[in-house]
Structure 1
Amino acid sequence: MAEVRATAEVAEVDAQGVCWVPVRHHSPAATRAVRDLVARLRPVAVLVEGPADYTRIDQLLLAHTPPVSLMTWFRRETPERTQVAYALYPFAVFSPEWHAVRDGAASGADVRFVDLPWHAQVVVEEGGYDAGPAPTEGAALHRTDEVSASFFDGLAAYTGRREMSAVWDELAEIDPELGTATYLRRAALLGAGIRADGDARRDARALADRALDEAREAHMAAEIRRARADHPDGVLLVVTGAAHTAALQERLAEAPRADELAGPPPTPADLETGQALVPTSYPALDEQRGYLAGQPSPGYYDRVHRAAGAEAAALTDTVLTEAVAALRDAGATLSAADLIAARAAMLGLATLRGHARPWRDDLVDALTSTLVKDTVAPDAATSADGGHPLLNRVRELMRGDAVGRLAPGTDVPPLVVEVEARCAALGMPLTPQPTTHTLDLEDDADRERAQLLQRLRVLEIPAGRLVRDVRGPDPQGPIGTQVGARVDSTQEWRVRGGTTVTARAVLASRWGASIEQAVLAVLGRRAAEGDVASLTSALLDAVLCGLPDLTGRLSEQVEVGTLALDRLPELVEPLGVLLRLHRFDRWYGTTDRADLGALLRLVGLRCVELVERLGPQGPGAPSEQLAVALRRLVDAVVASPALQDLEPRLAAAVAEQLARGSTRSGHAPEALGALTGARWLLASVAPRDLAAVGPEGAPDPAGTGEWYAGLLAVAGHLALAAPEIFDPLDAALRHWSPDDFRRALPDLRRAATSLLPRERRALLAHLGGGLVGASSPVGGDLVVPEHELAALLAREDALWALVEEHTGPLRAGTAR
């Protein structure tokens, strides 16, 4: 600790004429110190921790409305893969870096970012541009400091706070009269201690972090020396994260080290990099929502930054009153006495903790102790969801809903300009108020509009929302209706612009300089995942986006991936996508395309082969997945001319599976029911022959309900096309004993839920009002004897009594 203290205690301006300002990246106290130092010292240069390759400081000086972020990205395409990633450097109105740039420039200082460019940091972290996977998208550059059980643990025990944000508040934020000198001393001590803790760790993560820190500090030190050479006289104001300050001071006190002289890692010639400003929001900057370098409750710290004098002293009182009002608006029953109790608890906690004024966690803890009557998690004060609905509402209030705006004249990437221009040129201007557009895909101009909106969807730019898609064949309808079904070729889109659209368009720029280039990169990235489902999804989007050049490459990848799959459920979804493209999407030019037809046939043939090789299907999920897969497979084979010659082979495969018998095949009753349904749907079995099929594969009544579930999941839509098919099964069911029926009833109910409402109505109308065979003892009526009904009610009452025994009395009006 002595070494840390000695390192941290430095003069406001050192012997080299440098004023070191260690900061937390979003801190009203750090902001006050930066503004005071710029005003008093009038530095010749202000050097800020930020990507050194961003030199458009003039863009940051425009009249933006924070919060905004500086986004930096890189893109590199190689024959093996496309590597695309980005990072964000956010600025809130209470961020010290924001005011260092703007106040420094206003005072005439030379303002520069001095940190290692982000793409070079990736090289250090990943071991090279080609080493390992692409970095995680959207990674926050600044990470929360993770420290060992030494300096920080002692500091946490001293302050009585457990996590970094609360410790920082105790040291820097709570006292509104904290002076700049005291701030600098405390921030330097905290940063040096955290860095010492990190250096003491020896795990793999710590070593990787240390290598990155050293690379960044080498670059910052070299930039500071360069600025000193450019400005031999006057003060250099250096604003960096507190954990870097001591290391930079040590470097600048001696001759340049080898890593400073070597410079950053070389940048490959084919690497594309870029930067742009993008609006962001307080919810996105909230530490409790996942942004590791943020502050919890940024809206609260915004108000701390703006408040002064008596307003600052009464700030938390004001927030408490607003919180109680918000809770009342949300339906909480709170009285004046509750408000008084909460305020008294808040003031008591602030006094107990030695706070100069009530603070954010005093407020949250007071509300938790006085208003929340339920058990909350131990970390409710710092958790993302607050641990309770009342606390969630308070957190939402303190989080704030501010959304940043870029000033007119801000440079934006070409893709952003293209998005706005293309939408306007096609008669869909991006206005704040949403407009509705009905597009007929049979019309060339409307199809071009739809393709543009689909491209924006793929890029996750929310300029268009598909309200109603085209209406084609009903995949749940009777077999055979797909081919002759009437197709409504119109779509309805809701189109709008706004800050979110602009921000997402800027983010999408990392994929390419134009819309088409970016979409190709996104779909290429999805295709690189390799599984057939991702490939066919990318293939469908390529068609919807009007990118025929890409479909050929994706089709080849689907073909390779298909041959590697050995589970039927994994192939039926891609089969459905290909069937749609080849058979029905005539407005996109894919109907009857030879290459898609060949690919559809390959996937269909592979599905049939998997049915032929089908292993034993157990109860539960395997049988349920088989039922869904068989339904889709049979529908595809019957509906598509490209697959119809596979129908006899599929029918033979299904018959062979059934012929094995339940004991030898190992299929569960539900799987056998699904296979029976598939056999019904295929041309090998005519309706008049179904009586011979009967409830095949149901060895006992207890399993028959499961068999029905599988059957109806596959062939339930025959209730519309040929309900008489179910007469033999209905007759068999009516001969069950009451005990057999009760045992099978849960599965029979589940079987019925697989039917669409119109199918269920058609089947009940047929079975309830028609003849079901002379052997039926009750004709067409469903009669439940009175004593059986009484027995069922008694069993239900006993069940609810057991439930209440474990859960307590149910509220009045609770549906049983």
Structure 2
Amino acid sequence: MAEPAPEDGADAEIDAEVGADGICWVPVRHHSPAATRAVRDLVARLRPVAVLVEGPADYRRVDQLLLPHEPPVALMTWWRRERPDGTQVAYALYPFAVFSPEWHAVRDGAAVGADVRFIDLPWHLQVLVEHGGYADTPAAADGEGVALQRADEVSETFFERLSAHTGRREMSAVWDEVAEIDPGLTTSAYLRRAAVLGAGIRANADARAGRPDDRALDLAREAHMAAEVRRARAEHSDGVLLVVTGAAHTAALRERLGAPPRSDEAQGAPAAPEDLETGHALVRTSYPELDEHRGYLAGQPSPGYYDRVHRAGATGRAEDADGVTDVVLAEAVAALRKAGAPLSAADLVATRATMLGLASLRDHARPWRDDLVDALTSTLVKDTVAADAATSADGGHPLVNRVRELMRGDAVGRLAPGTDLPPLVHEVEDRCARLGMPLGPRATTYTLDLEQADDRERAQLLQRLRVLDVPAARLVRDVRAPGAPGPVDVPDARRPAPGARVTERVDPTQEWTVRGGPAVGARAVLASRFGASIEQAVLAVLVRRAASGEVADLASTLLDAVLCGLPDLTGRMGERVEAVTLGLDRLDELTVPLDVLLRLHRFERWYATAGRADLDALLRLVGLRCVELLERLGPQASGAPSQALARALRRVVDAVVASPALQDLEPRLAAALVAQLERGATRSGHAPEALGALTGARWLLESATPSADGSRTPQGAPDPVGTGEWYAGLLTVAGHLALAAPEIFDPLDAALRQWDDADFRLALPDLRRAAGNLLPRERRALLDHLRPPGGAGPGGASALVVPPAVLADLLVREDALWTLVEQHTGPLRTATRATGAAGSASGSTP
């Protein structure tokens, strides 16, 4: 599609590029090496007095973009409103890559002394126009940010015809055909092509709009940009204005500037609410993030590939521009060989020949990314892949995906020293330094004793950074009971002596690692959209999380409010948890706030919640509601209902056993368990797994005050068909008794030994699932207790011998499985297979 340059000389070319009004319109795609090349050429030749760029007009710190940053970076713009029910917040990103035309328009324009400005309608006003207000905007509803983008589907007629003409099915691929592939495309030819493409997109979009309101946002943006261009022309009466906007807007802007101002230009931008706070900041971003945001404005598939195209074109050497895809192919083959893929020199030759043939067939001036992907899939891939494999997130095959990773790139931006940063960023650094935890380049470990007020303050700061997703700190070890896997688990099944406090057995120290780095600064900038200070931002994040009203979100918010040292929010969240708790009718839902409240009660001395009568009362309420729901529990079916009941019973009984605050609920809980077990395994009763869970819960309560002989009856155990499920429920709830009182499993073991082979095979799948519910140390303790006399193997382990014939059959099956896998993935490393086979053959215990 190459076009010859005009032959009338440089002056004629400039005349064709600059209109009679002195304006040079540059329609661009927002991440385009071809557009960048045209912008840089026009700035150098025309030396405009002003460069006007599509971007938020309320960002006036263009000098910040002139610092020696390393793209990709992004301009973040946000708005925030304080409302009675919390902070309403949203943000958008305007990304810049090294091949983005706006990036070079700003920097090259400033280098020639031009007045550089952004002219687009500010983003928060775009939200106002598009949604009619801020309260119901999608971004505001959940507080998440959005990458500024529009859909790639631009029309139903123009684009379809253009797609058919070029043979490409996706907008970015069509743009490639029009502007990117030919490295010799002149600036004039680029301007003509981009203008036609943009005008067609916009004309068809206008025709498709059913009502003027459907185009309200585009009209408002264009009115604002037209007014800004007129203002710049009035301020700079002589010289060239270079206007860099999205191709779809250029035709509409040229039409506006060719006529007197319209009424929407004269009336100006809509007014924002007085309580609306807005802000801007530069943040670093990355090529994976740019690749993920696929919209017309926000992102670019395969940014690493276009980075290579841009840098190769900048050298001015044709061989560099033509060889980009060859380099990617060579790197892809090397990477795939390193991963174990069986690619030979012949495969590489065949792929390259196919790639060159496809490029020639498609009339490409040089091989392009889709030529490479199509060549790979046709010569090396035997499976079906997606039609858009070159641009899709998942090409459908490991070979294609590896090429996609190379074309995506892994570049991460860097902000230059001296970049203006929001106050929250400085507060993070200053507070960490003031508390003796400076954010250095290397991770430093701190052990914080929550008995000490200074360490509690440090822990609260680090917890706040965690909530804000600022990766300055990582919690390595939390406060815990000695030997317990977590802060809420019971270290053993025995009740502490009367009057003893559970908290006396707790290790009150936390271990954190703290470090600085670019990621910390970037995340702190993003967090600043929620508030100007750490505390304000944390409050906004937690209130936003609780806005769903779901009990899990409320409980986690309550816990984080305590950990972050926010007593006022703790009280508000406690009230909301109480209100929701009263409306819940499922036991498994109630265990979520129960766990949180038990943790807060257990560690009240170190979480600064001691003496909080409201939290104590809430714990009592939730515990009582759990018992009430158990008393009213209806028949539980097999599968998910019984499994959920088992998990919930484990947590409820552990809470009653562990917490003195819930001790008086034990008799009522025990009576409820007995009543449920009496329903039996009848048609109207519980499924086997539910009966096993109820039995395990009863055992747990009884283990606190064991009977004289220590025996336990396997109450409710059904016939062998359901025994595996029964065991699964039992061990989900009471598996940890294998450590504390393994003798209670003796009656069950004796019953199981009476089964014949047929009964055992019926129960085996669920028995294996039951054993999977045990921790490794619980499984070993039970195995050691139940092994037959003289059956100990080396080291005291049980010798469960697999017959040689069975083992040989398993090895044959394993080899067949490896063969099947390698048919799809290629040969795997020999060491991997050898290790697996040796492990299978050398031992006789599973």
Q: TM-score, normalised by structure 1?
A: 0.91
TM-aligned CA deviation for residue 376 of structure 1: 2.7
Alpha-carbon contact 1:679-1:685 (below 8 Å) kept: no
Out of 327, 347, 351, the position equivalent to 2:356 is 347
Instruction: Work out whether 1:89 is the aligned partner of 2:108.
Output: no
TM-aligned CA deviation for residue 139 of structure 1: 1.5
Instruction: Work out whether 1:244 is the aligned partner of 2:263.
Output: no
Deviations 1:290-327 (A, max 9, x none): 89732222122122222221322333223332332333
Out of 489, 494, 500, the position equivalent to 1:480 is 494
Alpha-carbon contact 1:175-1:357 (below 8 Å) kept: yes
> What's the counterpart of residue 61 of structure 2?
56
DSSP-derived class of the 2:367 partner: coil
Alpha-carbon contact 2:711-2:744 (below 8 Å) kept: no
Alpha-carbon contact 2:53-2:245 (below 8 Å) kept: yes
> What's the counterpart of residue 70 of structure 1?
75
Which 10-residue stretch deviates more, 268-277 or 711-720? 711-720
Out of 754, 767, 786, the position equivalent to 1:748 is 767
Q: Across the two proteins, how many residue pairs are aligned to each other?
A: 794
Which 10-residue stretch deviates more, 483-492 or 748-757? 483-492
User: What is the distance in 2 between the residues matched to 1:715 and 1:242?
Assistant: 67
Q: Supply the AA of the counterpart residue of 2:131.
A: E
Seen in structure 2, the aligned counterparts of structure 1 residues 292 and 726 have a Cα distance that, compared at 3 Å, is farther
Seen in structure 2, the aligned counterparts of structure 1 residues 299 and 132 have a Cα distance that, compared at 3 Å, is closer
TM-aligned CA deviation for residue 390 of structure 1: 2.3
TM-aligned CA deviation for residue 800 of structure 1: 9.6
Instruction: Work out whether 1:398 is the aligned partner of 2:417.
Output: no
Identify unmatched segments of 5+ residues in structure 2. 1-14, 497-501, 791-796, 825-832, 841-845
> What's the counterpart of residue 7 of structure 2?
none
DSSP-derived class of the 1:295 partner: coil
> What's the counterpart of residue 502 of structure 1?
521
TM-aligned CA deviation for residue 692 of structure 1: 9.1
DSSP-derived class of the 1:574 partner: helix
User: What is the distance in 2 between the residues matched to 1:408 and 1:575?
Assistant: 48
Identify unmatched segments of 5+ residues in structure 1. 1-9, 772-780
DSSP-derived class of the 1:564 partner: coil
> What's the counterpart of residue 419 of structure 2?
410
> What's the counterpart of residue 499 of structure 2?
none
TM-aligned CA deviation for residue 790 of structure 1: 11
Which 10-residue stretch deviates more, 374-383 or 740-749? 374-383
TM-aligned CA deviation for residue 525 of structure 1: 0.7
User: What is the distance in 1 between the residues matched to 2:398 and 2:478?
Assistant: 37
Q: Supply the AA of the counterpart residue of 2:665.
A: L
Deviations 1:334-359 (A, max 9, x none): 33333322222222222111111222
TM-aligned CA deviation for residue 726 of structure 1: 2.1
Instruction: Work out whether 1:327 is the aligned partner of 2:336.
Output: yes
Q: Supply the AA of the counterpart residue of 1:532.
A: V
> What's the counterpart of residue 391 of structure 2?
382
Alpha-carbon contact 1:47-1:239 (below 8 Å) kept: yes
TM-aligned CA deviation for residue 568 of structure 1: 0.7
> What's the counterpart of residue 443 of structure 2?
434
Deviations 1:36-87 (A, max 9, x none): 2222222222111100111111111112111111100011121144211100
Alpha-carbon contact 2:94-2:298 (below 8 Å) kept: no
Seen in structure 2, the aligned counterparts of structure 1 residues 643 and 242 have a Cα distance that, compared at 3 Å, is same
Instruction: Work out whether 1:460 is the aligned partner of 2:469.
Output: yes
Alpha-carbon contact 1:583-1:592 (below 8 Å) kept: no
Instruction: Work out whether 1:231 is the aligned partner of 2:245.
Output: no
Structure 1 residues 581-620: aligned runs within 5 Å? 581-591=600-610, 593-620=612-639
> What's the counterpart of residue 777 of structure 1?
none
TM-aligned CA deviation for residue 705 of structure 1: 2.0
DSSP-derived class of the 1:90 partner: strand
TM-aligned CA deviation for residue 11 of structure 1: 4.8
Out of 121, 124, 127, the position equivalent to 1:116 is 121
> What's the counterpart of residue 3 of structure 2?
none
Seen in structure 2, the aligned counterparts of structure 1 residues 783 and 111 have a Cα distance that, compared at 3 Å, is closer
TM-aligned CA deviation for residue 225 of structure 1: 1.9
Seen in structure 2, the aligned counterparts of structure 1 residues 492 and 627 have a Cα distance that, compared at 3 Å, is same
TM-aligned CA deviation for residue 796 of structure 1: 8.7
Alpha-carbon contact 1:459-1:522 (below 8 Å) kept: yes
User: What is the distance in 2 between the residues matched to 1:733 and 1:715?
Assistant: 18
TM-aligned CA deviation for residue 687 of structure 1: 4.0
TM-aligned CA deviation for residue 513 of structure 1: 0.7
Which 10-residue stretch deviates more, 620-629 or 194-203? 194-203
User: What is the distance in 2 between the residues matched to 1:97 and 1:800?
Assistant: 57
User: What is the distance in 2 between the residues matched to 1:108 and 1:554?
Assistant: 56
Alpha-carbon contact 1:125-1:212 (below 8 Å) kept: yes
Deviations 1:145-195 (A, max 9, x none): 322331111111111111111111111111111111111110011111112
TM-aligned CA deviation for residue 553 of structure 1: 1.0
Instruction: Work out whether 1:253 is the aligned partner of 2:258.
Output: yes
TM-aligned CA deviation for residue 458 of structure 1: 0.5
Which 10-residue stretch deviates more, 133-142 or 353-362? 133-142
Seen in structure 2, the aligned counterparts of structure 1 residues 321 and 756 have a Cα distance that, compared at 3 Å, is closer
Instruction: Work out whether 1:175 is the aligned partner of 2:171.
Output: no
TM-aligned CA deviation for residue 541 of structure 1: 1.1
Output the aligned Cα RMSD.
3.2
Seen in structure 2, the aligned counterparts of structure 1 residues 476 and 353 have a Cα distance that, compared at 3 Å, is farther
Q: Supply the AA of the counterpart residue of 2:620.
A: R
Seen in structure 2, the aligned counterparts of structure 1 residues 669 and 175 have a Cα distance that, compared at 3 Å, is same
Alpha-carbon contact 1:466-1:491 (below 8 Å) kept: yes
Alpha-carbon contact 1:723-1:763 (below 8 Å) kept: yes
Q: Supply the AA of the counterpart residue of 1:112.
A: R
> What's the counterpart of residue 448 of structure 1?
457
> What's the counterpart of residue 700 of structure 1?
719
Structure 1 residues 722-737: aligned runs within 5 Å? 722-737=741-756
> What's the counterpart of residue 289 of structure 2?
284
Out of 182, 192, 207, the position equivalent to 1:185 is 192
User: What is the distance in 2 between the residues matched to 1:785 and 1:42?
Assistant: 85
> What's the counterpart of residue 774 of structure 1?
none
Deviations 1:609-653 (A, max 9, x none): 111121221101110110010010011011112111111111122
